[in-house]
Chains A and B, each alone.
Chain A
Amino acid sequence: MPPRLSSLSRAATTRRTVVGAALAGLAAVSGCDAGRGNDDDGSGVSTATDPDTALVDRVTAEVTALAGLVASAAVTYPRLAPTVRPFRELHAAHLEVLGAERSGGRAGHQSFDGAAAALREIRLREQRSQQRLVAASLAARSGDLARVLACMSAGTAQQLALLRPAPSGEQAG
């Protein structure tokens, strides 16, 4: 079973501790000693959990908010749903990897000025998210976390490359 960065199911253990342990486990799964990521400065995974846990929390919050936006667009404009479904699946998978609940994104109270505008907003927010994932990867002390965040940014880049304009004839409701 693929690893998670954290596992909320282990109730007896704090999330911070679990993130560190899971990060250490990722090195074995990825098939290389990719724990350091600090250009040979000698630092290791186990000593770098605190800032990385905060980073994971921040990325989780950002992906959750974005999932809500996309879900809201799909609810408001049902004919957009097929177009944005890949992003909803992407967010759900990324949240699962981050150790958050795989909810698929709950629709928030977003308002859009038409389907085309909603899709433009999604594209813009996804582009920003992709850039923030790159920044988060750069900020990660753990090389394994940096790798996962960079791969998340690559997944977002793929979906942005495939995103097409909104189908015509959208109506609210």
Chain B
Amino acid sequence: MTTLAALQTTLAAEHAAVYVYGALGAQTSRSATPELYAAISAAYAEHRARRDVLTRTVADLGADPASSAASYELPARLDTPERVTRAARDLEEAAAATYASLVANTAGARRRWAITALNDAAVRVLAFRGTPEMLPGASEYADR
């Protein structure tokens, strides 16, 4: 995979993450579940920021940045804080895998940025009641 293709793949994933986090935020009550609301809001902001960086990076390489879809498939049920939390955890685990792949396909400053994003996603998994892994983002080692 070329660096540009990996960046476009990551950008497409961030478009989806922003969309889904928007839906998760709409299902989260600031008054009833303030911690979850804060965590969802922070994650939403972070993914938007990363999406914007990726868009600029792809454009700087002379390519048309991948555009977002009109809509994305949402988890089937988001009617409880537990289900919202699980959906957010799944998103962050997927983000960790996506950024791990970006690490493999970049070098220098872009790789450093991808490593930071991978680490952030891995730690954010814990905020959504995830369990630590030996190598977050590398599913082939998940049984360790």
Secondary structure class of chain A's binding surface, majority of residues:
helix
Instruction: Confirm or deny: A165 has a beta carbon within 8 angstroms of a beta carbon on chain B.
Output: no
Contact of B135 with A148 in the complex, beta carbons under 8 Å: yes
Interface range on chain B: under 10, 10 to 19, 20 to 34, or 35 or more?
Answer: 35 or more
- Given A144-B104, A153-B115, A158 and B136 touching (CB < 8 A)? yes
In the assembled complex, A150 has its CB within 8 A of some CB on chain B: yes
Within 8 Å by CB of B112, from A30, A35, A94, A138, lies A138
A93 adjacent to B144 (CB under 8 Å): yes
> How many A-B pairs fall under 8 Å by CB?
126
The segment out of A12-20, A36-44, A51-59, A116-124 that lies at the interface is: A36-44
User: Does A32 reach chain B (CB closer than 8 Å)?
Assistant: yes
Q: CA A153 – CA B126 in complex, angstroms?
A: 15
Which residue of chain A is the closest to B144 with respect to CB atoms?
A93
Q: Is there an interface contact between B106 and A32, defined as CB atoms closer than 8 Å?
A: no
Q: Is the CB of A161 within 8 A of B1?
A: no
Q: Answer whether residue B3 sits at the interface, using C-beta atoms and an 8 A cutoff.
A: yes
Q: Check A154 against B96 for contact (C-beta < 8 Å).
A: yes
Q: A84 on the interface (CB 8 Å rule)?
A: no
Judged by a CB distance under 8 angstroms, whether B43 is at the interface is no
Question: Chain B residues near A148 (CB, 8 Å)?
Answer: 135, 138
> Is A147 within 8 A of B144, CB to CB?
no
Q: Are B105 and A143 in contact (CB under 8 A)?
A: yes
A34 to B136, CA, bound (A): 17
Q: In the complex, A74 Cα to B43 Cα: how many Å?
A: 36
- CB<8 Å pairs between A and B, sample of 23: A29-B140, A37-B105, A37-B106, A39-B106, A41-B107, A89-B134, A93-B135, A143-B104, A147-B103, A147-B137, A148-B135, A150-B100, A151-B135, A151-B136, A151-B141, A153-B115, A154-B121, A154-B123, A155-B135, A158-B122, A158-B125, A161-B126, A162-B126
